[in-house]
Amino acid sequence: MKAKLESGIQLSRDGWEIVDFLDSLGIYGDQGTIDVEMGFAHFFFFYSRYWYLLKPWIGHFRRLDGNVDYYRDIELFWNDMVHYGTKQRGLIVSDPRYSRAEILEFLDEEISKAPNSA
């Protein structure tokens, strides 16, 4: 992913729509509209994988603008869900969280379920 960023490959419009959706969930989490338990139960599977995939692009744009903390709510809500998951649901924290094969499988499933997919 780092090589793609350095080569100038841009995140697609669909990718940025996902970022905006995650940001909305993060804002709702920060405001308490969605509590962490609800967020974990309903969104963590997808939220966590998309955060893993999109974090390099978000970091790239943060650095471009002098480390402006763009999409901070995404990261804060993700951290809150990870903390909840480890304390309440037995989530195991590992680094990296997902293997390349797991991410490719996730993306293949997402693409196959998307409207207008082949």
Share of the chain above pLDDT 70, in %: 89
User: Hey, how many other C-beta atoms are within 10 angstroms of the C-beta on 96?
Assistant: 9
With contact defined as beta carbons under 8 Å apart, do 84 and 37 qualify?
A: yes
pLDDT of the residue at 71 = 85
| Span 8-27, pLDDT tens digits | 557 778 878 888 999 999 99
Detail the DSSP E strand segments found in 1-118: none
Write the single-letter amino acid at 18.
I
Whole-model pTM: value is 0.77
- pLDDT bin (cut points 50, 70, 90) of residue 33 is very high
Distance from C-alpha of 118 to C-alpha of 108, rounded to nearest angstrom? 11
With contact defined as beta carbons under 8 Å apart, do 72 and 61 qualify?
A: no
Side-chain-side CA neighbours of residue 23 (13 Å):
13
| Span 108-118, pLDDT tens digits | 888 888 777 55
Residue ranges per structural domain of the chain: 13-113
